C-alpha cells in the first residue's frame, strides 16, 4: 500500500517534470481580452481578441511621419520620456542603450521613445538628443506627437498616465514595454533597473523565436 503510493507519486512527479521540460517558455499577453465567435468555412469557431496598442500619429527625430502602421511587422520596445528630464530618464536611456546595442540594425526590432513634453521636444531637439546619445539609423525613434494624444496613448501601454506636478515637471514611471508583432503588450520592465533590462533583452529573443500568429490587427 505504502509502496504503491510512493510509486504513484514518483510517476506523477516524473511525468510533471517531463511535461514541463517539453513546455517552451512563452511570454504572457497583457491587457484585457474577450472571446468572439465567428464563422469560418461554415463552421462556428471561438477566437480571442486581445487588447492592442491604439493608433497614433507622430513624427520622429528625422521629421518623418511615424504612426502605428510604421511598426507593422516589428517587435518593439516603447518608453515615455522627455529630453530635459532630470530624474530617471538618463538612467532609463543608459539602460536602453544596452538594448539598442544588442539589436541595432536587426530588421524587425525597434525602440520608440515618446516625448511627453512635445512642446519643448521638437524635431531638432529630438535629433540633437539622439545624436548626443549616439543613436543613428532607424532602430530607435524619438517621437513627437500631440500631448493629449500621447498621454491618452500611454493608457493602452498600461503605464501610469503621465501627470504634471506642482513644479510643472513631469512625473512618469520608467517602464519599458515590450510589444509583439500583433501589437500586444508582452512584458513590462523597470527601465531604471539593469537586471530587469537584461530580462527584457532575453525576452525579446524569446519573442523573436515565437511562431508568427496570423491575425495582425
Partner 1 sequence: MKLKAIGSISVLILILFVLSCQSEENLEFERYYSNGAVVYQAHCQNCHGANGEGLSALIPPLTDSVFLKNNKNALACYVKFGLKGQISIKGKTFDDAMPANDLSPMEVAQVLTFAGNSFGNKLNTIDIQQVEAGLGKCK
Choice from 22, 35, 42, 86 touching ligand HEC (CB under 6 A) = 86
Q: Is residue 90 part of the contact set for partner 1 (CB under 8 A)?
A: yes
For residue 85, the minimal CB distance to ligand HEC (Å) is 8
Q: How many residues does the chain have?
A: 217
Using CB under 8 A, which of the segments 17-25, 71-79, 84-92, 119-127 binds partner 1? 84-92
132 binds, among ligand HEC, partner 1, none (CB under 5 to 8 A by kind): partner 1
The torsion angles phi and psi of 204, rounded to 5 degrees, stand at -60, -40
What is the dihedral sign for C-alpha 40, 44, 50, 54?
positive
- In the region spanning residues 122 to 151, those forming contacts with partner 1, defined by CB under 8 A, are 129, 131-134
Cβ neighbours for 127, distance < 8 A, ≥ 6 positions apart:
61, 62
Q: Count interface residues toward partner 1 (CB under 8 A).
A: 14
Compare residues 24 and 119 and give the one whose CB is closer to partner 1: 119
Q: Is residue 93 part of the contact set for partner 1 (CB under 8 A)?
A: yes
Q: DSSP of 115-158, one letter per residue? A: ES-TTT--HHHHHHHHHHHT--TTSEEEEB--HHHHHHHHHHTT
CA distance 71 to 135: 19
Compare residues 94 and 147 and give the one whose CB is closer to partner 1: 94
Q: Is residue 7 part of the contact set for partner 1 (CB under 8 A)?
A: no
Per-residue binding letters, 30-69, with ligand HEC (x by CB under 6 A): ----------------------------------------
Interior/surface letters 189-207, b for 16+ CB within 10 angstroms, e for the rest: bbbbbeebbeebeebbeeb
Amino acid at each position: 500500500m505504502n509502496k504503491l503510493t510512493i510509486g504513484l507519486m514518483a510517476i506523477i512527479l516524473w511525468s510533471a517534470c517531463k511535461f514541463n521540460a517539453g513546455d517552451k517558455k512563452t511570454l504572457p499577453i497583457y491587457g484585457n481580452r474577450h472571446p468572439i465567435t465567428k464563422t469560418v468555412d461554415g463552421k462556428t469557431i471561438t477566437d480571442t481578441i486581445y487588447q492592442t496598442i491604439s493608433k497614433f500619429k507622430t513624427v520622429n527625430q528625422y521629421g518623418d511621419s511615424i504612426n502605428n502602421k510604421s511598426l507593422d511587422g516589428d517587435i518593439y520596445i516603447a518608453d515615455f520620456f522627455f529630453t530635459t528630464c532630470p530624474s530617471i530618464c538618463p538612467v532609463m536611456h543608459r539602460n536602453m542603450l544596452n538594448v539598442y546595442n544588442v539589436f541595432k540594425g536587426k530588421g524587425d526590432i525597434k525602440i520608440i521613445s515618446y516625448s511627453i513634453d512635445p512642446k519643448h521636444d521638437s524635431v531638432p531637439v529630438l535629433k540633437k538628443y539622439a545624436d548626443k546619445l549616439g543613436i543613428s539609423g532607424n532602430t530607435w525613434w524619438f517621437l513627437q506627437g500631440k500631448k493629449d494624444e500621447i498621454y491618452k496613448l500611454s493608457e493602452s501601454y498600461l503605464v501610469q498616465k503621465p501627470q504634471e506636478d506642482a513644479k510643472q515637471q513631469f512625473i512618469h514611471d520608467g517602464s519599458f514595454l515590450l510589444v509583439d508583432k500583433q501589437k500586444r503588450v508582452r512584458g513590462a520592465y523597470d527601465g531604471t533597473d539593469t537586471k530587469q533590462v537584461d530580462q527584457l533583452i532575453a525576452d525579446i529573443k524569446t519573442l523573436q523565436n515565437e511562431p508568427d500568429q496570423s491575425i495582425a490587427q
